[in-house]
Homo-oligomer: A and B are copies of this chain.
Amino acid sequence: MNNKEKLRKAGLRPTKQRMIIADILLDGINRHFTAENLQNEINSSGNSMSIATIYNCLKKFRNCGLIKQVESSKDTAIFDTNINQHHHFLDEETGELIDIENDEVNLHKLPKIPQGYLNNGVEVLIKIKKQI
């Protein structure tokens, strides 16, 4: 399926701007990035785009499940092209995130989901620190 079809299937009009972003993000390579990182990549690709449009698109892409947003206490939002359920190593010093594939973690015992709620995904974060 090409990117135009992916956008259509997600219910998004394949505008010029969304196609530029899709060409960068939906290439099958997993990456973690900020809005500013993406703007730099757009610029490097010979295109340009308003930062408002980049935020609009990232929100649409996220809400459609084309990308995810990482839970992070940094003040800049971090997005993730790996949309499979997976986990992360986090170096809190640098903010660097490294993917952990789902099958590398085995949760043996899980607590009961609170009454009236459904499990909507489990994420394991392993904080790591550079050895001294």
Could you give, for residues 24-64 of chain A, a 1 whenever the CB lies within 8 Å of some chain B CB and a 0 otherwise?
00000000000000000000000000000000000000000
The interface residues of chain B lying within 8 Å CB-to-CB of A113 are 89, 126, 128
Q: Assembly of this chain: how many copies? A: 2
A121 to chain B, nearest CB (A): 4
Interface size on A, residues (CB 8 A): 41
- Known contacts: A122-B127, A129-B120. The answer to whether A108 contacts B111 by CB under 8 A is no
A126 touching B118 in the complex, CB below 8 Å, given contacts A73-B72, A104-B111: no
For the complex, give the distance between the alpha carbons of A98 and B114 in Å.
Answer: 9
Question: Please, could you name 13 A-B residue pairs with CB atoms under 8 Å apart, sorted by A?
Answer: A71-B71, A71-B73, A72-B73, A106-B107, A113-B126, A117-B128, A118-B128, A118-B129, A122-B126, A123-B125, A124-B124, A124-B125, A125-B125
